[in-house]
Structures are given as C-alpha cells and as structure tokens.
A and B are shown apart, each in its own frame.
Chain A
Amino acid sequence: MKYDSILETVGDTPLVRIAPEVHGLPNIDLYAKLEFCNPFGSLKDRAAWNMVRPGLGSAVEKGSQIVELSSGNTAKALAAIAGMHGLGFKSVTNRMKIPEIKELLLLLGAEIEELPGQSECLDPTDSEDPLTLFHRSLAEPGSAYLHTDQYYNDRNPEAHESGTGPEIVADLGGRAPDWFVAGVGTAGSSTGVARALRKHGPEVEVVGLVAEKSDFIPGIRNIDEVQEVGIFDPLTYDTIEKITSTEAIDGMLTLVRRCGILAGPTGGAAYFGAVRHLREVAPRLTGTATAVFIVCDRVESYLSYIKKRRPDLFGRQRTSASVGSLSPEDASRAAGIGVAEAQEWMAKENPLVVDMRSPYAYAALHIEGSMNIVDELFEDLVRGGLPFSKARPVLLACPVGEQSLKYAALLTRLGHPDVRSLAGGIIAWRDAGAPLVRE
C-alpha cells in the first residue's frame, strides 16, 4: 500500500478475536481492537490528528507552538505531527511517570514542562494552582499557541465516533457488539465509540474502567480525576468499574504471552476488566454474544513501569562472580586496612588504588595516583573474571569501606592474592587528614 503521508495511515486498525480457550468465557466472542497499529503507536493518534487539523493551517502561518496537557500518547502523537509541519510542541504535565515516554518525547523534539508538586505548607489563599498557571501561560500576550485541549475538545470523541466506532461495527458485519469495554482517560475514545455503537445497537452495554485512587495505570484516570474531564459524562457508561495496576499487568501478561498481542498495561486493564465483567453473565447467555475491548498501545514503553511492580518477571540469574553470591566465610576473609597503614603500604608496595565512586565524585576529589572504576562497571567487569594482574596488590576504596570490602572478598575468591579494602573509605581518609587531590 502506498501513501503520501504517514497521517493517511491513522485508523483502520484490526479487530482480532481472542481465542476462547484463553479467556475461558462460554458463549462469548471477545475481540481486541488493536489501536497500537496506528502509526505513532496508540489510539491517541486519531484524536491528536483530528484535534490539530482545523487549526493547523493558521498555526503553520503564524509558527505557533502546539501545546497539550499530556504525559503520554497524546503528547507523542502531537509531537510527531508538529514535527511533520515544522511546528514546535510543548507537553505540560503533572509528572512524567513513564521514563520511556519522556525520553521518546525528547527524542521527538518535544519541550516538556512539569507542573509543581503540592505545597507542603498549605496556603489556602494561593491563586497559583498548577492548572491556573498553565491556562494563564496560554493567554500571555504575544503567545502563539495551538492548544488542542484534549480533556474538553469535542473533536477528541468525534475522532472515535467517526472512526473507531464505525470500524468496529463494520468488522462485526454491521452490528454493534453487546459489550464494549475501555479504560477512561480523557474519556474521548469511550465516549466517541459508545456514541457510534449506540447508533447501531442502542442496547450495547458500555463498561468504563477507572483506577483505584492510590494506584496508577498509565492512560487511566481514577474516580475523582475523571470528574475533572470536560468530555466525561457518567451517563455514557452503563457501569464504571475499578481496576488495579496488578490486574492490568496480569491482563497484559495474558495478551502478551498467550495471544501474541504485545499490549501495554492499559490494554491489559481493558482485557482484564472485560473478562471480569463477563465472567458472571456469560454462563447465563442462551446464544453467542460479542464483546470488544480496546488495546490502546504497545508494551515496550512500559518496561520500567512493569519492572517496578513485578520485578519477578525480569529475574536475572546470579552468577557466581557477583557480590550477591558471597558466603559469610568469603566475606570474613576480606582484608580491611586502616588509613595510616594503607599510606605506608602504598609507599612500600605501590598497590593499584581503585576508587569505586562515580566519575563525578572522583573528578572532584580523589587519592593521587588512583584510578576510577565506578561500582556498577566494576560489577560487570568482575562477572567476566579477574580484571587485574595477580602480580600487583590492589587497594579498593569506596565512600565508607562497605562495598569495597565485599569486592575485596570477591576478588580474593576469584584468586587474587593481595586485595585490601580501605577501611572507613574515602571519608575516613579525608577525616584522617590524608591528602585528596583535584586534578
């Protein structure tokens, strides 16, 4: 297929059936709407392009900057669209919680502004709540912004009312599904799709998913936060159900590991929410019914998010050449050496002095003649074997002598005959008045 612009590939995403043995629901055909097949990677591509389009001409003319309150996929799509048209893009956000998305935005050339955190000493008369600050900055004289306003802009749900929704209906042979399940973020996709589906089948049941208040699922708001969304109307949904990040990741794992659908946590939440909601009703059905949920984006951007919550999924094998593998006997065999003694030893035997602090700290002050191998790097080096000749003694130094002692033990176990650890570390060295240099 040939296109003149990547923007022509927005929409027309596949609807893929989930194998019944995976979801285990009797009498139900469950379909995933794969919105990650959009060109910039998420369902937000549709809304972003639809919201930007009317103002684009004059924005290009004036050289305006596109601005949006977003910390995720909308920002990603808008940054790409802005770049294509020679415009700048600024993302204003409470906090970029997903480091991969933040880095991707910087790579796309976006400018990121983070709103301040909540004040510790409350000032009830403070007029500078973060959103007020944001809206004021849009109205500053001489400012040329194209604010897409995704939480209020009706072109956000409209993109789904005219795109996502009708596509689902067409793929189901002109029928609306019996259930539609989606996470509620800006409420744009759920509102738009619900409108379209109800035109074809008013009895479709729409399930909106929101997060627990103390929890965080990317792209899904909690029950209070949805109230701040202009597009959000509780009447859109037949049910609003809560979902946790643990459930979202469980759902995601099923899609990723059993369905070959590399969905992110939002898609996982929708899958989990759909199965949970349908589990009760499915056995009571007499005929076959259909349900559709949305897979918003792909998993790759959320590796650190998942790692933080499920470190077990990334379990790394311990090698024998790591400090974690040291036995108490190994550790007790390590030799520490006090500052005065170390100075004497250095003058007599000229050991290799290895400073394990970061290059930044090393550059600021260090023991003259020492070399710098930061602990993280040292750990990698040692995994491959002894990085020093056995012919020369080694003195390891870290800030307080704790880590260096472990590594001295490890090097000793790996066969080095004379490794010592500077007892009390560089701090003891300084406190003893021994010389530190800055070169």
Chain B
Amino acid sequence: MVAPLYLEPKLDPPLTSLLASASLLHRLVDGLGSPLNVVVPERFAENVTRFRSVYRRHHLEGTVYFAHKANRSSALVRRLASTPAAVDVASLEELQHALACGFTPDRIGATGPKEPEFLWLAARTGATVNVDGRSELEALAALVHRHGLPRTQVLLRLSDFSGPAVRILTHRSRFGVPESELSALLDAAERHRDAVEVVGVSYHLDTTSLEEKAVALEGCVRAMDECRARGMRPRVIDIGGGFGVNYLAHGAQWEHYTSQLALAALGRRQALAWRNHSYGLSSEGGTLRGTLQLYPSYRPVAGADYLDELLRSPAPTLGRPLATLLLENLYDLHVEPGRALLDQCGLTLSRVLETRREADGTHVVRLAMNADDCTLEEHGILLDPILLRRDRPPEAADGSAAPFGVYLHGNLCLESDLITRRLVFLPRLPAPGDLLAFPNTAGYCMDFNAHHAQRRPSARKVAAYRNADGWQWRLDDQYWPIHSTGDADEI
C-alpha cells in the first residue's frame, strides 16, 4: 500500500453547505437516479459580481458574457438573466435557449461556427455577431440584404497577433482572421456598411499565458485604431475567456503529486494510475520527456483575479497597464468566461455499485456513471471526490476507517471507461449504496460530452437553492429566479 496522495478539492460556500446535507443528496439520487448533476444558481450570480468588481476597480465599462456552452442548464441561464451579465451563444439552439430564458438580444453575442439559420435568427432579433472571417461577414451581409433584416452589430474576431521583437509561437487557432488580413476584412465591412456595423474587435486565445494575451489585447487596440482611421466608431474590445479555475485546496498537494507523477514516469516509484498511465510524461534513458497533459488544477490566480492581473499587465509596446490603455482609448471591455463563471456552481453525484479488492492491494470502485457523465479526466482536472456514506455513522467499526487507494470504474463495457485513470485516495473504503460527489463540475465537466451509449439515459439535473427552511431543489427546467428568494439583484 502506497502512502496516500490526496488532491483535496477547493470548496467554497454554498457548495460546502450543500455537501453537508448528505441525506438530501442521497434522497435526490434515490429519486432521480445516478448520476445526478446539481447546479447552484446563487453562486453563479455571485461569480458575476466578482467579475463586475474587477471592472469597477479599473473604472472600465463593458459586459461580462457567459459562454453558454460550458453548461446546458436552464436554471443557470435564467438566473444569469437577472444579473447584469450577458450571454455568449455558440449555436442556434443556445440562442433560442437564451432568448427563452429571458435575455433580450442586446445582451446576447453569437460566436463560433454559424449556420445560415443561426445567423438569420441572430440578425433578426438584433444580437451582436462575432464574425469569424470575411466569408462569414459576406454571408451575413447577403442575408441582411435578401431578407430585409436590421443592420447587424458585428465584432471582428482576430488571431495571430505579433509581439514586439519577439516571435511568440502561439498554437494555431481554428478561429479568427490573422491580424495581417484585417485591412481586407475592413474593406468588406465598409462595402457592406448598410448591412453591418463594426462595433469592435475580439480575440480568444487558448492559453494560460498572460504575456500572449497582452500582445493580443494591444493588437486589438491597434486594430481599433485602423477602424477609427476609416471613420468607423468602434467601442468594444472582446478578449474572450480562458480565465481559469482553481480546483484544489492545497498547492502543496498538487506540487507533491505532480513530482510523484514525474518519478513514476521515470520508474522510480510505484505507478500512480491505471496501467501505468503517466499523463504525457515518459522516460528516455532516465531523463524525463514529454509535457504533463493536465490542467493546472491548482492555480493561485484564476477567474476574476486572473482578469485583474491581465488588466494590470503592461501593454508590450505601449507600456501602459492594459486597463489604462483600454480606458484612455475610451474602449469598453467584453469578456467571455465560461468555466470561471461556473466555479463552485455545481457537483456531480454518483452511486457506488460495488467495491472489489484486487490482487495488488488496490480496490476497484464501480460507479453508476461513466467517464462522459463527468469529464474531469477528459479536461485533465485531477481532484478527489467526496464520500457521502449512506445510513452509517461516520466511525463504523468495520476496520475501513483507513485511507484506501481506489480505481473508479464506469458503467460502460469499455476497458477505457474509468472516471479517472488516477489511483484516487479516499479516507475510507466506500460501500455499495454510498455516494461519491465530484465537486466543481459545472464548467464543461457536467454535460458537454454526455451521451446515450448503451441506451443509458443522460444524467438529470437539479437546481439547488436555499430559503428560510434550508436547501430546496427543483428540476433544472422547473427553476426560475423567482424561486430563490433573498438573493434577488438588479441589472
């Protein structure tokens, strides 16, 4: 038995209080089946406030757009509609959903690859369209002309920004127009000025690096200048998302764990994962090769704090802090956080079906869920689930009150269906009927990949909220903001 390596999740209120209500969570899974997703709209609104306070601190105007794709929940989007935030939709269905949840089109931005139907509804209602390139701009203008649609506000999505003196080898992006082709894009926008109005430019970089984002933001300011020089009056710079979440409570546990992973890959200690999986690391003649294919689960600066740090960073050539640069050029800042806005907004519950001891001393825990019901592993996020025992006092005298290393197996007939390949350490061995709660799954890890393989139904979702009688719940589509009293806020 190896010494336990814990990765304790970071838990904030109200998730802590919800997890303390184990009997409610057991009753919910009894009634609605395993797995079960729980979302917490109250915390979602609080996260919007955190982002807004960064705006206030820097005196910036502009809007926080929630990237809807991170979670399909109606309860969350409806709750969002009663905050000052807006919503970023990436499909026709998400646009319809946002409209149905109470968002007026002036608070909706359409991004991503778009079918003509999606473009038509966005233009018809008056949502802002984040245009991915020249052909999309032409298609939109043609739609507006042909169907007599109102003039549509557009943001031009740019990519491939070049920094000063130093070439940054940014990952190639599928999206946006290279900064160098901006002129041609603006020519097209000018040709179609009766159909589209350029209100600004945008970027989204898939990187955790502040420096890369600073280069892109300054590139946007220069692009806005080119718009102004052509007599346009753009106001918005949309810097996309990617603000991140800190999933773990203790940095030291994360650092120790990743060091041990490196040693395991070098063969200097026992494996830490199923079939010696080593998350992208390998040994070549005793030297460590490869890159750790994991999300940085412990991130001391994430979410609204990351935005704050970005805004404090100097512009690479103009030197001013980025917030000052935006402010003095009179630009509004739009952000599109998905995961970061959903931090601490939900959890995924699963029933334990079976516990089995293996020959090597480890245990296998079979769960009533599969890896696609809770995609922490798919996103490279490592954290420990929380054991919610059923009908048993905390200190049962069955000798199980010792840490156990377990592998979490899913319910599909696939060798690869492990909830995580990592050997997970639990403070005691679970028993059939217990629940495992995977915290902080609301951002991308709840329903983005869910499917119906083996005719299994996808997980139900409930919204949990509090009133004077404690925790209450409704099915996700039965929840409206009027139900959680006490945290009403105004736009």
A and B interact? yes
Which of A120, A122, A128, A365 has a CB less than 8 Å from the CB of B330?
A365
| Contact present for B208 and A227 (CB under 8 Å) | no
Contact residues, A102-142 vs B (CB, 8 A): 102, 106, 111-122, 124, 126, 128-131, 133
User: Residue-by-residue, is A379-410 near B (CB-CB < 8 Å gives 1, otherwise 0)?
Assistant: 00000000000000000001110100000000
B293 interface residue per 8 A CB criterion: yes
User: Residue-by-residue, is A395-430 near B (CB-CB < 8 Å gives 1, otherwise 0)?
Assistant: 000111010000000000000000000000011001
B455 interface residue per 8 A CB criterion: no
Contact residues, B197-234 vs A (CB, 8 A): 206-209, 211-212, 221, 225, 228-229
Nearest CB on A from B329, distance (A): 5
Which of B59, B166, B330 has a CB less than 8 Å from the CB of A102?
B166
| Contact present for B378 and A358 (CB under 8 Å) | no
Contact residues, B256-294 vs A (CB, 8 A): 258-259, 262-263, 266, 280, 285-291, 293-294
B414 interface residue per 8 A CB criterion: no
- Residues of B contacting A120 in the complex (Cβ-Cβ under 8 angstroms): 206-208, 241-242, 244
Which of A113, A117, A399 has a CB less than 8 Å from the CB of B166?
A113
User: Residue-by-residue, is A209-246 near B (CB-CB < 8 Å gives 1, otherwise 0)?
Assistant: 00001100000000110011110110000000000000
**25 residue pairs from A and B, CB less than 8 Å apart:** A111-B167, A114-B166, A114-B168, A114-B169, A116-B170, A117-B207, A119-B206, A119-B208, A120-B206, A120-B207, A121-B242, A121-B444, A129-B280, A213-B255, A214-B251, A223-B259, A224-B262, A228-B287, A228-B289, A230-B285, A358-B319, A360-B221, A365-B228, A399-B330, A438-B228
Nearest CB on A from B296, distance (A): 7
User: Residue-by-residue, is A83-106 near B (CB-CB < 8 Å gives 1, otherwise 0)?
Assistant: 000000000000110000010001
- Nearest CB in chain A to that of B251: its residue: A214
B165 interface residue per 8 A CB criterion: yes
Instruction: State A95–B170 Cα separation when bound (angstroms).
Output: 12
| Contact present for A128 and B171 (CB under 8 Å) | yes
What 10 pairs across the A-B complex have the smallest Cβ distances? Answer: A117-B209, A357-B328, A361-B328, A129-B291, A122-B380, A227-B288, A120-B242, A399-B327, A117-B207, A213-B255
A364 interface residue per 8 A CB criterion: yes
Which of A112, A131, A232, A357 has a CB less than 8 Å from the CB of B165?
A112
Known contacts A399-B328, A399-B330, A426-B330; A113 and B262 CB within 8 A of each other: no
- Residues of B contacting A214 in the complex (Cβ-Cβ under 8 angstroms): 251, 255, 300
| Contact present for A118 and B290 (CB under 8 Å) | no
Nearest CB on A from B249, distance (A): 15
Which of B61, B169, B221 has a CB less than 8 Å from the CB of A115?
B169
| Contact present for B169 and A113 (CB under 8 Å) | yes
- Residues of A contacting B244 in the complex (Cβ-Cβ under 8 angstroms): 120
| Contact present for A133 and B169 (CB under 8 Å) | yes
Instruction: State A227–B261 Cα separation when bound (angstroms).
Output: 12
| Contact present for A402 and B166 (CB under 8 Å) | no
| Contact present for B207 and A118 (CB under 8 Å) | yes
| Contact present for A95 and B166 (CB under 8 Å) | no
B interface, CB within 8 angstroms of A: 59, 61, 163, 165-171, 206-209, 211-212, 221, 225, 228-229, 241-242, 244, 251, 255, 258-259, 262-263, 266, 280, 285-291, 293-296, 300, 318-320, 324-325, 327-330, 378-380, 444
Known contacts A214-B255, A358-B328, A361-B328; A114 and B165 CB within 8 A of each other: no
Instruction: State A230–B288 Cα separation when bound (angstroms).
Output: 8
Known contacts A227-B288, A361-B329; A122 and B320 CB within 8 A of each other: no
- Nearest CB in chain A to that of B222: its residue: A360
- Nearest CB in chain A to that of B293: its residue: A124
| Contact present for B328 and A113 (CB under 8 Å) | no
| Contact present for A122 and B259 (CB under 8 Å) | no
Nearest CB on A from B178, distance (A): 16
Nearest CB on A from B209, distance (A): 3
Which of B61, B209, B242, B329 has a CB less than 8 Å from the CB of A116?
B209
Known contacts A129-B290, A227-B287; A364 and B212 CB within 8 A of each other: no
| Contact present for B327 and A400 (CB under 8 Å) | yes
Known contacts A227-B288, A232-B287; A114 and B167 CB within 8 A of each other: yes
| Contact present for A427 and B330 (CB under 8 Å) | yes
| Contact present for A364 and B329 (CB under 8 Å) | yes
Nearest CB on A from B338, distance (A): 9
| Contact present for B294 and A122 (CB under 8 Å) | yes
Which of B258, B280, B287, B328 has a CB less than 8 Å from the CB of A230?
B287
- Residues of A contacting B266 in the complex (Cβ-Cβ under 8 angstroms): 227
A interface, CB within 8 angstroms of B: 95-96, 102, 106, 111-122, 124, 126, 128-131, 133, 213-214, 223-224, 227-230, 232-233, 357-358, 360-361, 364-365, 398-400, 402, 426-427, 430, 438
| Contact present for B225 and A364 (CB under 8 Å) | yes
Q: B interface, by DSSP: helix, strand, loop or mixed?
A: loop
Further contacts, 13 of them, CB under 8 A, given A118-B209, A214-B251: A112-B167, A113-B168, A113-B169, A114-B168, A114-B169, A121-B379, A126-B293, A224-B259, A227-B262, A358-B328, A364-B225, A364-B329, A427-B61
Which of B287, B291, B300, B378 has a CB less than 8 Å from the CB of A130?
B291
Instruction: State A117–B242 Cα separation when bound (angstroms).
Output: 12
- Nearest CB in chain A to that of B61: its residue: A427
Instruction: State A355–B456 Cα separation when bound (angstroms).
Output: 65
Which of B211, B221, B241, B300 has a CB less than 8 Å from the CB of A117?
B211
Instruction: State A224–B327 Cα separation when bound (angstroms).
Output: 41
| Contact present for A361 and B207 (CB under 8 Å) | no
| Contact present for B207 and A116 (CB under 8 Å) | yes
| Contact present for B209 and A122 (CB under 8 Å) | no
- Residues of B contacting A129 in the complex (Cβ-Cβ under 8 angstroms): 280, 290-291
- Residues of A contacting B289 in the complex (Cβ-Cβ under 8 angstroms): 228
Nearest CB on A from B297, distance (A): 11
- Residues of A contacting B286 in the complex (Cβ-Cβ under 8 angstroms): 233
Nearest CB on A from B257, distance (A): 11
- Residues of B contacting A133 in the complex (Cβ-Cβ under 8 angstroms): 169
| Contact present for A116 and B212 (CB under 8 Å) | yes
Nearest CB on A from B163, distance (A): 8
Instruction: State A430–B329 Cα separation when bound (angstroms).
Output: 11
Which of A131, A358, A361 has a CB less than 8 Å from the CB of B291?
A131
- Residues of B contacting A360 in the complex (Cβ-Cβ under 8 angstroms): 221, 318, 325, 329
Known contacts A117-B209, A400-B59, A427-B330; A358 and B168 CB within 8 A of each other: no
- Nearest CB in chain B to that of A119: its residue: B206
Instruction: State A361–B325 Cα separation when bound (angstroms).
Output: 8
- Residues of B contacting A121 in the complex (Cβ-Cβ under 8 angstroms): 206, 242, 379, 444
Known contacts A358-B328, A360-B318, A426-B330; A122 and B379 CB within 8 A of each other: yes
| Contact present for B379 and A228 (CB under 8 Å) | no
- Residues of A contacting B228 in the complex (Cβ-Cβ under 8 angstroms): 364-365, 438
- Residues of B contacting A131 in the complex (Cβ-Cβ under 8 angstroms): 291
- Nearest CB in chain B to that of A430: its residue: B330
